[in-house]
Amino acid sequence: MNLQQVKQRFGIIGNSPRLNYALETAIRVAPTDITVYIQGESGVGKESFSKIIHHLSKRKHGPFIAINCGAIPEGTINSELFGHEKGAFTGAIDTRKGYFETVNGGTIFLDEVGELPLETQSRLLRILENGEFIKVGSSKSQKTDVRVITATNKDLFNETLSGKFREDLYYRLSTLPIVVPPLRERPGDILLLFKKFAFDFAENYRTVEKELSPEAEQILMNYRWPGNIRQLKNVTEQLSILESDTYIDADTLKKYLPEVSTTLPAVVKKDASAESAGYSERDIFYKVLFDMRNDMTDLKKVVTELLKGSQMKDKIIEDHKSVINRVLSDDSMPDQTEIVIHPKDSDMTGDQGNEEEYVIEAEDAVGTDENLSLEAKEEELIRKALLKNTGRRKKAAEDLGISERTLYRKIKHYGLE
pLDDT score of 415 more than 90? no
Cα–Cα distance list, 272 to 3, 250, 259, 279, 294 (Å): 49, 31, 19, 10, 20
Higher-pLDDT residue of 321, 155:
155
pLDDT score of 27 more than 70? yes
pLDDT score of 347 more than 60? no
Query: What SS3 state is found at 380?
Result: helix
pLDDT value of residue 329: 52
The closest alpha carbon to 407, from 387, 379, 374, belongs to: 379
pTM: 0.61
Do residues 96 and 140 lie in contact, with contact meaning Cβ atoms separated by under 8 Å? no
pLDDT value of residue 19: 95
pLDDT tens per residue, range 249-275: 999 999 999 874 444 444 444 444 444
* 265 Cβ contact partners less than 8 Å away, ≥ 6 residues apart: none
DSSP 239: H
pLDDT value of residue 302: 61
User: What is the spatial order of strands in the sheet that 147-152 belongs to?
Assistant: 64-68, 107-111, 147-152, 36-39, 176-179
Give me the mean pLDDT over the 326-344 stretch. 49
| Domains of the chain listed by start with CATH number | 3-181 (3.40.50.300), 184-254 (1.10.8.60), 281-364 (no CATH), 374-414 (1.10.10)
* Residue 42: count of CB within 10 angstroms of its CB: 15
Rounded to whole angstroms, the Cα distance separating 90 from 291 reads 58
Lowest mean pLDDT, pick from 151-160, 232-241, 351-360:
351-360
pLDDT value of residue 314: 64
pLDDT score of 361 more than 80? no
Q: What is the mean pLDDT of the chain?
A: 81
* 30 Cβ contact partners less than 8 Å away, ≥ 6 residues apart: 52, 53, 54, 56, 57
